[in-house]
A and B are shown apart, each in its own frame.
Chain A
Amino acid sequence: DGGITQSPKYLFRKEGQNVTLSCEQNLNHDAMYWYRQDPGQGLRLIYYSQIVNDFQKGDIAEGYSVSREKKESFPLTVTSAQKNPTAFYLCASSIATGGHTEAFFGQGTRLTVV
């Protein structure tokens, strides 16, 4: 089945640690996105990538980093510089930016700082 897969579903991070969230899609989509979801707020864009080997900062990129070495993969690293990382993280993909099609979402990763 085509889709977008995030792992792990739950992740616990100690203070000062970096952690990496995985996102893989087999939809042959060019564009991929990372969003953060907090209670009572809309999805906020962290980073996005329109094509392999290219990515741009979103609205809340500080404390996060990404890479896009393969079309199907867009991992997100939450660094120790992110002061409030506890949230639900959603990865999405779409055919292309400017394509006016829906974004497809993964099932999310819940990150908790312990």
Chain B
Amino acid sequence: GESVGLHLPTLSVQEGDNSIINCAYSNSASDYFIWYKQESGKGPQFIIDIRSNMDKRQGQRVTVLLNKTVKHLSLQIAATQPGDSAVYFCADYGITSGTYKYIFGTGTRLKVLA
């Protein structure tokens, strides 16, 4: 099977509870941030994004919070469901060495317990 995420930090939550996944970034020049969900053996799927002129954005059952002061991003999933089990990772986007780049975090595995 897919070995991506084998050594990742794991967050286990009970079905129906809220999940909070955290991410730190290092590039002060980053001004756009994205959360992705990756299921085993598949490519990452876009969940939600936020621009640096905002500190909170809500989608369907998901909320992203951005704290630029401490370079921290979080993803909140409300009423977590079994289908939410996956690896989640953040990406920041901005100028790095003169070029716009996406920088991806290592990811967190979310396990939803029935």
| Residue ranges of A at the interface with B (Cβ–Cβ < 8 Å) | 6, 33, 35, 37-43, 45, 56, 88, 90, 97-98, 100, 102-108, 110
Contacts and interface: CB of A to CB of B under 8 A. Distances in A.
Contacts, number: 58
Contacts of B2: 88, 110
B40 to A, nearest CB: 11
A43 B89 CA distance: 10
A98 B89 CA distance: 21
Contact of A39 (B3, B42, B101): B3
Contacts of A41: 106
A42 B93 contact: no
Contact of B44 (A45, A56, A105): A105
A45 B99 contact: no
Nearest to B6: A39
Contact of B46 (A37, A38, A88, A104): A104
Interface residues of B, number: 31
Contacts of A90: 43-44
Contacts of A56: 99
Nearest to B3: A39
Interface in B73-107: 89, 91, 93, 99-107
A42 B46 CA distance: 16
A60 to B, nearest CB: 13
Given A43-B104, A105-B45, 13 more contacts: A6-B43, A37-B4, A40-B7, A40-B8, A42-B89, A43-B102, A88-B2, A90-B43, A97-B100, A100-B93, A102-B46, A103-B102, A105-B44
9 contacts: A42-B105, A42-B107, A43-B104, A88-B2, A90-B44, A98-B100, A103-B102, A107-B42, A108-B43
Contact of A105 (B8, B41, B43): B43
